[in-house]
Structure 1
């Protein structure tokens, strides 16, 4: 076989793999969102640096937990999980500097306090209202584990 035939075969294989990856991402997102309660949620995984460390993702409410899935991952399980009783809303701010390039245009950055430290999330204003309602929805003294 000539070199150009090998090149065409390799390009075709790469194209097929890229299409399969895209299809797998679509199927995974459909599986994650089929039970509802999902929204676009970015998470700052690295707090060092000026506005760096943001990863796009999908948030899902699952009972007493907020689950976060990376957007471009094929993993079926959430990358991060926060329990409702360990999160508290600390405030919001607008994205600044390079954050505006990393996040969706209409998203605001919020800071939550958790048992493991500060958690920075970015979501739309409508999703923020839902998030605050979810945080406050648990009646005091309720034990959901029984």
Structure 2
């Protein structure tokens, strides 16, 4: 009977620890694919300070990929294309945001110029500088998006 208790205990511990081990392995794998940094994303903005999801982001070619922190998916949830993403402004977290986000985060607001959708990201100040540099270093002319007046028709 004592060996059955030991086996059951080991099995329970393994089941409890497995998700944490998988999250650690996922983060290590994503880090190996490119520089990864902590970055929260606001999934909804129906009320002030709510809708933030902790995550991480990385630059991959001409894209900024955002991943949820507590997910097992290896695919990004949101992708920002450099050519269609424009910086709007940055600010310090206010109210409940200061508690919900990573310590010393700055909130950056960007706009997708194709869909006109506004996105909010929260990251460390040095990551904000990296994002701004990445957006500004796009090749000349890549930020030109034709309007309906520019297309023949």
TM-score higher than 0.5: yes
User: Is there any run of 5+ residues in structure 2 with no aligned partner, and where?
Assistant: 143-153
Count of matched residue pairs: 138
The corresponding residue for 2:121 is 121
Find 2:32's aligned residue among 34, 40, 51: 34
User: Structure 1 length as normaliser, TM-score?
Assistant: 0.86
TM superposition shift of 1:86? 1.1
The corresponding residue for 2:145 is none
Task: Quote the Cα distance in structure 2 between the aligned partners of 1:51 and 1:18.
Answer: 32
The corresponding residue for 2:133 is 133
The corresponding residue for 1:109 is 107
The corresponding residue for 1:67 is 65
User: Structure 2 length as normaliser, TM-score?
Assistant: 0.82
TM superposition shift of 1:18? 2.3
For the 8 Å contact 2:64–2:81, the answer to whether it is kept is yes
TM superposition shift of 1:12? 6.2
User: Is there any run of 5+ residues in structure 1 with no aligned partner, and where?
Assistant: none
TM superposition shift of 1:41? 0.7
CA RMSD of aligned residues (A): 2.1
Based on CA coordinates, which of the two structures has the bigger radius of gyration? 2
For the 8 Å contact 2:34–2:60, the answer to whether it is kept is no
